[in-house]
DNA sequence: CTGAAAGCGCTTACAG
DNA sequence: CTGAAAGCGCTTACAG
């Protein structure tokens, strides 16, 4: 079923059909009705491929996420969706699992003109390779940043937030604070580790112990905590760079028969609902996840409308939320 | 940058360029090299819109999910991704939030020929309207089923699983078992409620109390449990149709100062990692989520290759997992 | 207000 | 093994 058939059915030209489809310009009421009738009768649906090919516009944006199951990511995506919808854009989600081949394949949607722009939440250091694929296409990084400034991004001051966590833990008397971090190919992971170390140094604290979780999952957090517990100098506090990881740490601590926060204080990151779901509820750093998503869309749409605009960096506020775990 | 420019650069016809792009037939080695060189030099990327318009094939499938943040959905999606990838298909995720307008908009991708088929995980009763939009396009329902049999689906025996939960709770001496259910527009919600009632009836149990959560979230589960606790005849067991809901119930019970399972036993559903994250860990019904996703893709690809094939229904095995909460 | 025609970037019989 | 040409289904100046 094509626009041709509708034109024939309605007894008008394809141009007229196209005009009523795009309710553009003035079409004589009579003709409009005949076209609408023909469309309804034949259950016609316009072919988006043809339309997009012709107009070179899709009003779709691609969102590349390393793991949708992560509650923080899911929240950011919700913000992205809301803002995109408000502006007449649709989003396409691709869960890369941080897999290079999958990311590359997803990017074909961009280079193949299926989408108008892209928002990534994946590791910056994996992106240089992707950057060439992306080329000059509209792109913004969300909750993650490239080292150089030529791509727009939105996030928080990770160094400062991590430092604050360390300050608070030291203030409550903790002396051996361990860090459960994510893969350092993420810029945010490097920044939080930097904040961790500078926070300790500011208080002349000697003890430092970093354990890297194999991924951003509950089980990886648990495994990391178990490793920390086997350490000869057992930590009396642990800072995990994600609530999911912290939730895993909480279980490991429970299973070891230790009490929180008396034996070990725990602090998470992100401020997701998950932090309230575990026992004890988690002290955490709240990120305005939805707002981060919305801002990312804003930056992207700017770039789509105005390809020559320079890259922008937006830093959002974060907040330390104190609960029973620390 | 188009295939034309490449042809000109390489000094061959567009047909030849197209042939090397699709590494089809035999192209003289010399020409192949020249084309490849031209492509590399110009950083050419084929326009997928044009290709798909011409071939009427996209090798993409659309996945409509009501809430990606739900861990069960996220797992199913992972299974879908794996199987799709194995078959050379890419998936596009749309988070509908059970919003009709958004679902309708997402379906334009199908009717607009951007994707070859669709997998839905949304409420069956909301789908009749969508069904007309979908028409004869390849479609499978995942972890949810239509009442009539003309669309393929894959899931578990929800009635049987719910009955089993009731049997177990009664066997451990519970006498007042409440149900925290999801919106009845979901067929699976109706089936589990049916199993709940028939399970009670089979044991001549008079007490029955159903509370509907406003959505499938932690906070909705908590609110539902708080309502149950205000009931004059307080339940001594609660069966929630999702682990997320159950996690909310657990918090409400904690806050009420009650013990699990002594004062109230709790059983969840889905068998997600979340069930292990809360304290006490949740007894739950495990669904083979990834496998459900994989099977859904299998059914869909069958339908894409063979549009005349009849609809199929696949029922997977489930498993009762006993933990400390009941 | 309307239609004929060009063109978006591909693929694919068809002829050679 | 290769190229000229038609055509996928649209939109949009352009002329009337």
Q: Say which of A45, A74, A277 has its CB closest to residue B247.
A: A277
Question: Which nucleotide has the shortest C1'-to-CA distance from B14?
Answer: D3
Digit-coded pLDDT (tens) for B47-84: 999 999 999 999 999 999 988 889 999 999 999 999 99
Q: Are A46 and B113 spatial neighbours (Cβ–Cβ below 8 Å)? A: no
Judged by a CB distance cut-off of 8 A, whether residue A324 touches chain B is no
- Whole-number distance in Å between A43 CA and D14 C1': 32
Report the predicted TM-score, pTM, of the whole model to 2 decimal places: 0.91
Listed by number, the residues of chain B in 2-31 with a beta carbon closer than 8 Å to a beta carbon of chain A are none
Residue B132's pLDDT band, with cuts at 50, 70 and 90, is: confident
Task: Return the closest nucleotide (C1') to the Cα of A52.
Answer: D10
- Per the CB < 8 A criterion, the answer to whether B84 and B297 are in contact is yes
Question: Nucleotides on strand C with an atom closer than 7 A to protein CB?
Answer: 1-5, 7-13
Closest CA in chain A for residue B93: A93
- CB A277 to CB B218 under 8 A? yes
Average pLDDT over residues A277-295: 96
A253 within 8 A of A263, measured Cβ to Cβ: yes
B residues 149-178 lying closer than 8 A (beta carbon) to A? none
CA closest to B111 among chain A residues = A45
* Position A128 pLDDT exceeds 80: no
Across the interface, of A69, A109, A113, the residue whose CB is closest to B74 is A69
How do residues A182-208 score in pLDDT, each as one tens digit? 989 899 999 999 999 999 999 999 999
Instruction: Answer whether B111 sits within 8 Å of A45, measured CB to CB.
Output: yes
For chain B, where are the E strands, in sequence order?
60-65, 90-95, 117-120, 139-142, 152-156, 177-181, 209-212, 237-240, 265-267, 284-286, 313-316, 319-321
* Residue A292 pLDDT grade (very low, low, confident, very high; cuts 50, 70, 90): very high
Cβ-Cβ contacts under 8 Å, B71 against chain A: 69
Predicted confidence (pLDDT) per residue in A7-52, tens digit: 999 999 999 999 999 887 678 888 999 999 999 999 899 999 999 9
The verdict on B75 touching A (C-beta cutoff 8 Å) is yes
């Amino acid at each position: 079923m094509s626009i041709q058939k509708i034109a024939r059915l309605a007894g008008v030209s394809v141009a007229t059909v196209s005009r009523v489809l795009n309710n553009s310009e003035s079409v004589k009421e009579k003709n409009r009705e005949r076209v609408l009738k023909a469309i309804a009768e034949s259950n016609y649906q316009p072919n988006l491929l043809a339309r997009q090919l012709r107009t070179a516009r899709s009003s779709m944006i691609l969102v590349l996420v390393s793991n949708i199951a992560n509650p923080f990511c899911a929240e950011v995506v919700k913000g992205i969706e809301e803002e995109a919808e408000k502006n007449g854009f649709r989003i396409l989600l691709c869960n890369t699992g941080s897999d290079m081949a999958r990311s590359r394949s997803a990017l074909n949607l961009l280079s193949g003109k299926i989408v108008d722009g892209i928002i990534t939440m994946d590791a910056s250091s994996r992106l240089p390779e992707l950057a060439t694929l992306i080329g000059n296409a509209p792109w913004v990084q969300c909750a993650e940043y490239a080292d150089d400034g030529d791509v727009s991004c939105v996030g928080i001051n990770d160094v400062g937030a991590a430092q604050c966590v360390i300050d608070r833990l030291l203030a409550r008397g903790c002396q051996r604070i361990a860090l459960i971090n994510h893969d350092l190919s993420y810029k945010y992971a490097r920044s939080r580790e930097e904040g961790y170390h500078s926070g300790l140094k500011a208080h002349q604290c000697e003890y430092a112990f970093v354990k890297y979780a194999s991924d951003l999952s509950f089980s990886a957090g648990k495994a990391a905590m178990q490793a920390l517990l086997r350490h000869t100098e057992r930590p009396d506090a642990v800072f995990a760079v994600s609530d999911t990881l912290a939730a895993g740490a909480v279980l490991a601590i429970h299973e070891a028969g230790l009490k929180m926060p008396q034996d070990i204080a725990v602090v998470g990151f992100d401020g997701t609902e998950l932090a309230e779901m575990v026992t004890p509820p988690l002290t955490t750093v709240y990120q305005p996840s939805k707002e981060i998503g919305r801002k990312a869309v804003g930056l992207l749409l700017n770039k789509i409308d105005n390809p020559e605009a320079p890259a922008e960096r937006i830093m959002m506020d974060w907040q330390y939320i104190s609960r029973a775990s620390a």
